[in-house]
Amino acid sequence: MTLQIWTWLLIAITFSLYIGIAIWSRASSTKEFYVAGGGVSPLANGMATAADWMSAASFISMAGLISFSGYDGSVYLMGWTGGYVLLALLLAPYLRKFGKFTVPDFIGDRYYSNVARSVAVFCALIVSFTYVAGQMRGVGLVFSRFLEVDITSGVLIGMIIVLFYAVLGGMKGITYTQVAQYCVLIFAFMVPAIFISIQMTGIPIPQLGFGSTGTDGIYLLDKLDGLHRDLGFHEYTSGAKSKLDVFFITAALMVGTAGLPHVIVRFFTVKKVSDARKSAGWALMFIAILYTTAPAIAVFARTNLIETVSNTPYHELPAWVGNWEKTGLMKFNDKNKDGLVQYLADPKLNELTVDRDIMVLANPEIADLPNWVIALVAAGGLAAALSTAAGLLLVISASVSHDLIKKMMNPDISEKGELVAARISAVVAVCIAGYFGINPPDFVAATVALAFGLAAASFFPAIILGIFVKRMNKEGAIAGMVVGMASMIYYMVKFKFDWFGGGTQEDWFLGISPEGFGTVAMIINFVVSLSIAFMTPKPPLEIQELVENIRIPSGTGKAHDH
């Protein structure tokens, strides 16, 4: 069968499964719409969390990013995995005990203020839209290559599908759909990795394969370092980023993870606090399978790409190059008119442009694997992008319908009315997300990294101080969130969108990239929050007691009885 038929077949089967699950488990109440009725098992919730977590950035873009930046790409592995541990141990159980559906709900009640709630809603929307733009871009990439449509049409198809099961099923539909999507995406990620590991090293475990010798007896990483040196790139196993920037990006990704609204809400879908901890453990195990394989895929893809295209006559290139050229994500410009492909680090001499987001999707084609494996990767990429997009859309619709409309504008709204408002806001959110998917600020992983920076700058200090500092009051939290978010947005639009006169890398604050600036903005938030909190009145006594009680394990009595 041709690749086109395999792709249609696998996408049709997986999508029928997702839509069938959404219809079977559609939400009939706001509790089912927001938190799946609170009755999901820890194992299923762990799988759903892993699918929610491993977005198009993890599946499509991360290995591509590592394959181009080598050692420097490891910041994404450290930051995203470490952040999940931080979230599971430090925040999730306490938030679960507080019993709030959404982050703005926690912030509004903990800081006894509708102004704080409004600021949190604004932050949740900014973070979620930045993040969902990366997912829509991922969906567009997959469709544009494998269904042979342009990226805009690909994004539009993805919007319609996400709308269908996110709006119909709510969190209940999304949870069970994500269990199926996790199974699809992990199978799709591992099968080609195992095939290529056997092909290049004779070892079926990719995590061991990329650190061993290839079929020619040379260590794979040494061989790749040599290829890089020959073409003028910096060595694959050495970093070009400053240690400070690596530290700040890793920290921003970690604390941004711990402030991500769509991951936090997953801890409310289980019955009790101990289940929240168990599902966090399961999720970490499921996430680790993909995250330990990504560096191996990056090395295999990079080595295969360089060996296939470098100094090869253009007319002898394999068919996959032409297929990717049609999407506009790979371009060849024969500058010296000799008919050979010069793939070099020097931009003046380089003749081949490769979009880093295509590496995982193109990897099975580069390695000449069977068509069904290539089609499986396409289905896996869509599963990863759609599962996260659906989770984010739910956060957006809950922020609008629950936190804005029910809590602030119309407290008497009926449950049915709130459900309608949630669904309408999801439709509007999809349209805005689609626009950003068609006009993204950067490649998928960098767009998503900016969302983490925004979450780090705004939510993390407010949540941590809200749980662990009784003295923390509404004035401090509001000021901290506003200043933190504003400084991150300013830095982001200055260096990513060239507003405010733009700026070059030399203008970065202490050499810290926009992806790492979330850590600086978070520190500013902490300083402003604590300074103002200690200069203004203490929070009411009942709020102080509430904070005390959140931190006491269930069944030990109230803190103030001791």
Q: Which of 241, 123, 125 is nearest to 521 (CA)?
A: 123
CA distance 198 to 505: 41
pLDDT value at residue 427: 83
The answer to whether position 479 is within a domain reads no
CB distance 174 to 390 below 8 Å: yes
**Interval 16-27 mean pLDDT:** 74
CA distance 88 to 152: 37
CA distance 37 to 401: 17
Q: Which two tokens stand for residue 255?
A: 């604390």
CA distance 387 to 495: 30
Q: Name the helix (H) or strand (E) containing 353.
A: strand 352-354
- Does 560 score more than 60 pLDDT? no
The answer to whether position 356 is within a domain reads yes
CA distance 208 to 214: 12
From the centroid of its chain, how far is CA 389?
9
DSSP string spanning 40-75? Answer: B-HHHHHHHHHHHHS-HIIIIIHHHHHHHHGGGGHH
For position 367, which CATH number holds? 1.20.1730.10
The answer to whether position 557 is within a domain reads no
pLDDT value at residue 561: 39
| Amino acid of residue 513 | S
The total domain count for the chain is 1
pLDDT value at residue 335: 84
Q: Which of 18, 88, 98 is nearest to 554 (CA)?
A: 98
pLDDT value at residue 553: 53
What are 398-455's pLDDT values in tens digits? Answer: 777 777 777 777 777 787 787 788 778 888 888 888 887 777 666 556 667 777 888 8
CA distance 49 to 33: 16
User: Angle, nearest 10°, between helix axes 273-309 and 359-366?
Assistant: 50
Secondary structure letter of residue 327 according to DSSP: T
CB-count exposure of residue 289 (10 Å: 0-12, 13-18, 19+): middle
What are 136-166's pLDDT values in tens digits? Answer: 777 777 777 777 777 788 888 878 877 776 6
CA distance 48 to 30: 20
What are 403-419's pLDDT values in tens digits? Answer: 777 777 777 778 778 77
CB distance 536 to 475 below 8 Å: yes
The rounded mean pLDDT for the chain is 80
What are 485-513's pLDDT values in tens digits? Answer: 899 888 888 877 666 666 677 777 788 88
The answer to whether position 164 is within a domain reads yes
Least-confidence region, from 131-145, 239-253, 367-381: 131-145
- Up-side HSE of residue 279: CA atoms within 13 Å toward CB? 33
Q: Is residue 74 very low, low, confident or very high in pLDDT (cuts 50, 70, 90)? A: confident
The answer for residues whose C-beta is within 8 angstroms of residue 140's C-beta and 6 or more apart is 151, 152, 154, 155, 158, 437, 438
| Amino acid of residue 110 | R
**Interval 319-331 mean pLDDT:** 82
Q: Which of 450, 488, 516, 460 is nearest to 252 (CA)?
A: 516
Q: Is residue 529 very low, low, confident or very high in pLDDT (cuts 50, 70, 90)? A: very high
Secondary structure letter of residue 346 according to DSSP: S
- Does 251 score more than 70 pLDDT? yes
Integer angstrom CA distances of residue 340 from 27, 343, 450, 459: 58, 9, 38, 52
- The angle at the Cα of 454, spanning 402 to 529, to the nearest 5 degrees, equals 85
The answer to whether position 178 is within a domain reads yes
The answer to whether position 500 is within a domain reads no
CB distance 518 to 453 below 8 Å: yes
DSSP string spanning 76-112? Answer: HHHHHHHHHHHIIIIIHHHHHHHT-SSHHHHHHHHTT
pLDDT value at residue 85: 80
CB distance 433 to 71 below 8 Å: no
Q: Which domain holds residue 68?
A: 3-440
| Amino acid of residue 194 | I
The answer to whether position 378 is within a domain reads yes
